[in-house]
Amino acid sequence: MIAVEINNISFNYNQQQIFNDLCLTINNQEKVGIIGANGAGKTTLFLSICGILKLNQGEIKLFNKTIAAGKFHPEIGLVFQNPDDQLFCPTVKDDIIFGAENLGLSSSEIEARFNQVITTVGVKHLINRIPHQLSGGEKCMVAIASVLIMQPKIILYDEPSANLDLKARRKLIQFLQSSSETILVSAHDLELILEVCDRVIVMNKGKIIADGIPEKIMSDEKLMRENNLEIPPSLSR
């Protein structure tokens, strides 16, 4: 089953062309890594999938339903690169339930979902804490919980391991490995992509340069060098 279908999209920003006739298909429950140097178009692609950006041309479908720009789509979850951009409520619990409350769910349904996600993500001990006092790893997992409670069909992770210490990064990787949702992960952390994703896409200047098995794509020295990337250490031994 196709989860995301991107058909011939084009997008310009400040008269600069980011995408031109881009096409991409993501299957249900795939774990797909998106890699590329800064300015490759990764974050812009994520914002387009969410419907935050209005395309100049083309369409994006989620399970055969066209994504309308400028509208809220709870079926799509976005975990920001910086959790401080995502967490803003007085307590962790308030942040986690915020999205569910705005879906118009009953209090009993919200509580049931809340109890489920804090167990799944492992943040039960943090629910009464003030978000900005948490560590980077704790903030990351709380941000993920705030997305999961809306039960999205696809989750987009934008540089999820940025600024995490080794222990927090390992916890994140283990969580992503066990995730049952369709996920797209944009990351400079190529070792994370290797551990989590079953498919990787290389982007450069808004174009898809390569698409395939992570180990094969990221061990191609010429391909990686031409796209301002380096072979992950675990593949260069």
Packing angle of the helix pair 92-101, 107-121 (nearest 10 deg): 130
Number of other CB atoms surrounding residue 15 within 10 Å: 5
* 21 DSSP assignment: E
pLDDT score, position 237: 65
CATH 3.40.50.300 location in the chain: 1-75+152-237
Q: Are 51 and 69 in contact (CB under 8 A)?
A: yes
pLDDT tens digits along 203-215 = 999 999 999 999 9
Q: Model's pTM, two decimal places?
A: 0.91
pLDDT score, position 34: 97
pLDDT band (50, 70, 90) for residue 84: confident
The neighbouring-strand residues paired with 2 are 27
pLDDT band (50, 70, 90) for residue 70: confident
pLDDT tens digits along 156-191 = 999 999 878 898 899 899 999 998 899 999 999 999
CATH class of the structural domain 1-75+152-237: alpha beta
pLDDT tens digits along 119-149 = 988 999 999 999 999 998 899 999 999 999 9
